[in-house]
Structure 1
Amino acid sequence: MSAQSKDWILHSVIFSLKHEKGSEAERRFLEDGQRILTSIPTVTNFQVYKQVSAKNEYNYGFSMEFASQADYDAYNEHPLHVQFVNERWLTEVEKFLEIDYTK
């Protein structure tokens, strides 16, 4: 885990895709998400998860850490994030839940 300041944020989103599980489109979305979002300088400790609990209806998760609110804001406003959301997220994600944690 990265060093954490009092301003540290863990940003996580759980989601389901419109794509069939195990499909090439699923693989491409998860890989592209990781490649694109980790290229944004303020993103640290990016993880991709496949959700296995029977207690919710989502299938995947992305999580990442930010050292501060300013770093998180920079990520949200970064052109690569905006483009990924507009071109991929809005068209390929069926439903999602976003959770941001601090300590």
Structure 2
Amino acid sequence: MKPGRIRHMAIFTLKHAEDAPETARFLEDGRVILSAIPSVENFEVLLQVSPKTSFRFGFSMEFADRAGYDAYNAHPAHTDFVERRWKVEVESFQEIDFVDVGGASSLET
């Protein structure tokens, strides 16, 4: 990953059964809505396969810089998705934001 870029990941478990139509709808709606936000790059919907965690799914995306990440967080499509879908349908989650270490000075964000 190039310096200055941010990889944002939200890993989560839904309240719906894994094979429920509501699960497929949530994942596809997340893909369509969140990937359409202008600063979002490389959006992926992921299935977690390790037995070491109970989280089942992930949304992963990248941003060119902190400004793009902040624009995503404040974007009405994101905040609406969080309020109307995420808070209602997600049982548990963890958010992780990565930057390339590339040297000690890049540890400051």
Q: TM-score range by the shorter chain?
A: over 0.9
Q: CA deviation at 1:7?
A: 1.2
CA RMSD of aligned residues (A): 0.9
The correspondence of residues 4-43 of structure 1 with structure 2, limited to 5 A, is 4=2, 6-43=3-40
The 5-angstrom pairing of residues 78-89 of structure 1 reads 78-89=75-86
Matched letter for residue 74 of structure 1: A
Does the residue aligned with 1:56 lie in a helix, a strand or coil?
Answer: coil
- Look up the SS of the partner of 1:88 in the other structure: helix
Taking only the aligned residue pairs, the percentage that are identical comes to: 52
Structure 2 counterpart of 1:70: 67
Distance in 2 (alpha carbons) for counterparts of 1:63 and 1:76: 14
SS at match of 2:55: coil
Q: Which runs of 5+ in 2 are unaligned?
A: 101-109
> What CA distance in whole angstroms lies between the structure 2 residues aligned with 1:57 and 1:77?
29
1:44 paired to 2:41: yes
If the length of structure 1 is used for normalisation, what is the TM-score? 0.95
* Structure-2 separation of matches of 1:67 and 1:26: 30
Unaligned runs of 5+ in 1: none
Question: Over alpha carbons, which structure has the higher Rg?
Answer: 2
**Residues in 2 aligned to 1:75 and 1:83: alpha-carbon distance in whole angstroms:** 12
Q: Structure 1 segments of 4 or more deviating over 6 A?
A: none
Q: Output the amino acid matched with 2:27.
A: L
TM-score under structure 2 length normalisation? 0.90
In 2, distance between residues paired with 1:48 and 1:79?
Answer: 21
Give the 3-state SS of the residue equivalent to 1:33 in structure 2. Answer: helix
